[in-house]
Amino acid sequence: MIQFCKFPELIHIEVTSKCNIKCPQCYNSNSGKDIDFFILFQTIKEASSLGVKCIALSGGEPLLYPKIFSAIKMIRFYGMTSCMATGGMGLTVEMINHLVGSGLGCLYLSLNGSTKKIHEISRGSYDAAIKALMLLKETNLRYEINWVARNDNIKDFNNLVKMCTNCNAKAINVLILKPDIHNKINNSLNRDQIFVLANQIKSLKNSGFNINVEHCFSQLRYHLSWNNEDNMVGCRAGIDLMAINVEGKKLPCRHLQHLASDTKGLMAYWENSNVLKRLRDIDESITKPCSTCFRFKKCRACRAVADKVYGTLESGDLDCPLFCPTCK
């Protein structure tokens, strides 16, 4: 069994499924629901009592949640850090001031390209994102860029870095392409593109600009030599994070909505969930090709991809660009 934290250090809470941008790569149902504020309050309060470090407010578009500023204030009141991702639509100076005043730790702006043509292949409303970028440039709110690596925007990565550097973004977070609403993945990176991106990241890190790669993008992290020998490698669902959906149900991560549970209490779910146990036992149950790959225990690829694309949490990545049974 993979060693897991005594309690989740990070909890994603889906505060709304509403969104004012329609992105081609979206995986959200856009059901038009808001989380019940009492459920949100109870979750934040319980998370604090367990020692959770950070609450990530997600959507949909979190800025559309009517009590978003109250939620951020509550997280700060209970001694935790908050963060939030946005597409930027409707962001104003007044909103930014409210986010700062409420105590938001970090705002993540979604931007998939330095130009409208590249960005809007996969995301919506480039103009809104750039307007938000210009507003954030002039504030003291910490913000970073979320960039999803795709084969149709990888050549633009250095241009995006230059744009974000000029706009005082603190970092770029490189995200793996997740399955869309139809459980499909199109335009993911091939082997050569992963190597090219890894070399670009190494070069930029040496220049002092902060670039982060999410843990579930384990193939890229492996090539960067960012995967350690310990158990905290690859997919972190059930290892140090979990999620709450807009209906208040608990799930391993926000990309595994259909595995939601009505278990009462965060700790009861963390300690007793059969789904989390399956994730923690993945080293023993993973199927081919991962089970025969030299890299597996230094990789542990995204389980949302395994489940949605190949039909089960235990599935190996049948399309992994780095599969190698013998090489080191």
The per-residue pLDDT for range 43-80, each reduced to its tens digit, is: 999 999 999 999 999 999 999 999 999 999 999 999 99
Judge if pTM exceeds 0.85.
yes
Evaluate whether residue 257 is within a structural domain: yes
The per-residue pLDDT for range 268-293, each reduced to its tens digit, is: 999 999 999 999 999 999 999 999 98
The per-residue pLDDT of the chain, averaged, comes to: 93
Evaluate whether residue 319 is within a structural domain: no
The per-residue pLDDT for range 201-259, each reduced to its tens digit, is: 998 877 778 999 999 999 999 888 876 655 567 899 999 999 999 999 999 999 998 89
- The enclosing domain of 172 has a CATH number of 3.20.20.70
Evaluate whether residue 208 is within a structural domain: yes
Evaluate whether residue 301 is within a structural domain: no
SS3 string of the chain? CCCCCCCCCEEEEECECCCCCCCCCCCCCCCCCECCHHHHHHHHHHHHHHCCCEEEEECCCHHHCCCHHHHHHHHHHCCCEEEEEECCCCCCHHHHHHHHHHCCCEEEEECCCCCHHHHHHHCCCHHHHHHHHHHHHCCCCCEEEEEECCCCCHHHHHHHHHHHHHCCCCCEEEECCCCCCCCCCCCCCCHHHHHHHHHHHHHHHHCCCCEEECCCCHHHHHHCCCCCCCCCCCCCECCCEEEECCCCCEECCCCCHHHCECCCCHHHHHHHCHHHHHHHCHHHHCCCCHHHCCCHHHCCCCHHHHHHHHCCCCCCCCCCCCCCCCCC
Evaluate whether residue 299 is within a structural domain: no
Evaluate if residue 134 carries a pLDDT over 90: yes
Evaluate if residue 184 carries a pLDDT over 80: yes
Evaluate whether residue 174 is within a structural domain: yes
Evaluate whether residue 327 is within a structural domain: no
Question: How many domains does the chain contain in total?
Answer: 1
Mean pLDDT across 2-13: 96
Evaluate if residue 169 carries a pLDDT over 90: yes
Evaluate whether residue 155 is within a structural domain: yes
User: Which residue range is the domain that position 64 belongs to?
Assistant: 10-281
